[in-house]
Amino acid sequence: MGLQGDDALLHQRVVSGDESALAELYDRFSPLVFGLCVRVTRDRTIAEDITQEVFLTFWERPLAFDPERGTLRAWLATIAHRRAVDHVRAEERKKPSHLGPRLFEREPAPMEDSVLDAEASARVRHAVQSLPAEQREALEMAYWGGRTYRQVAERLGLPEGTVKSRIRQALRQLAGMLAEEGVR
């Protein structure tokens, strides 16, 4: 939260041809991008290739990103997700069908600029419901209510540190649940 200024500066540096900005960017965002790609493709080698390609895309055409319209994290995640899903779909089309040739190919859903489709969003919301009450309360205040850690802490009458660790625990639990459910 509050990394907007950072995003703008990294963007300026990449536009100005500063390679060290690309290295910093990779350092900061590659675990997320790679994690997302592994989750969607379930193939580490493919995920590595897509991860590289996402950062190369940003370097080659940095003006496709506009810091006034969203965070760099969300932009990179969106590109990564789109490429990973494209890969999975292309693989599925290659698989021979047991029933012989298909009469018609189902049209792929139009790709929106989002990381989660409606079904996956519903699963995330559902997973939040099964968190322990304490964690869920803090998480919902922060995300659905759009509050900062400090504001959540004030409302709950807890130290900010406690709220922070509660939310982090919740996020880790959530990551585990989503991995089991195979949310893409």
Partner 1 sequence: MNPVERLYLDALEEGVERDDRPSPGLLLTTARARRRPAAVTVPWAAPYAGRVAAMDAVLASASTDDWARQVVEGWTLQQLVAHLTAKDGLVAADVGAPVLGPPIGTRDPLGRTAEVQAAEEGRSPEETRETWRAQADALCAHLADVDPATPAAPDGLAIPVRDAILARSLETWVHADDAARTSALRLPPPVADQLHPMADFCTRLVPWTLLATGTDGSGSTVRVTLTGPGGGTWLVPLDVGAPEGVRECGQGDAEAHDAQACIVTDVVAFCFLLGGRGAPDSLPAEIEGDRELARRVLEAAPVFSGP
Q: Does 86 bind partner 1 (CB under 8 A)?
A: no
When asked if residue 54 is in the footprint of partner 1 (CB under 8 A), the reply is: no
Does 174 bind partner 1 (CB under 8 A)? Our answer is yes
Q: How far apart are CA 126 and CA 130, in angstroms?
A: 7
Choices 82-90, 93-101, 121-129, 155-163; region in contact with partner 1 by CB under 8 A: 121-129
62 binding partner 1? (CB under 8 A)? yes
Q: Which of 49, 47, 50, 3 is nearest to 28 (CA)?
A: 3
Rounded least distance, CB 57 to partner 1, Å: 9
**Token code pair at residue 70:** 């969203």
Q: Which of 116, 156, 158, 160 binds partner 1 (CB under 8 A)?
A: 116
Cα–Cα distance measured from residue 67 to residue 56, given in angstroms and rounded to the nearest whole number: 18
DSSP conformational letter for 110: P
Q: How far apart are the C-alpha atoms of 31 and 34, rounded to whole Å?
A: 5
Distance, C-alpha 165 to centroid of its chain? 21
Identified binder of partner 1 from the candidate list 4, 12, 130, 165, rule CB under 8 A: 12
Closest separation between CB of residue 34 and partner 1, Å? Answer: 4
Rg (CA), the chain: 19
**Which tokens sit at 26?**
């990779």
The distance of Cα 104 from the centroid of its chain, to the nearest Å, equals 33
Smallest gap, in angstroms, from Cβ of residue 56 to partner 1?
6
Binding site for partner 1 (CB under 8 A): 8-9, 11-13, 15-19, 22-23, 26, 30-32, 34-36, 39, 47-48, 51-52, 55-56, 59-64, 66-68, 70-71, 73-74, 77, 114-116, 120-121, 124-125, 128, 139, 143-144, 146, 168, 171-172, 174-176, 178-179, 183
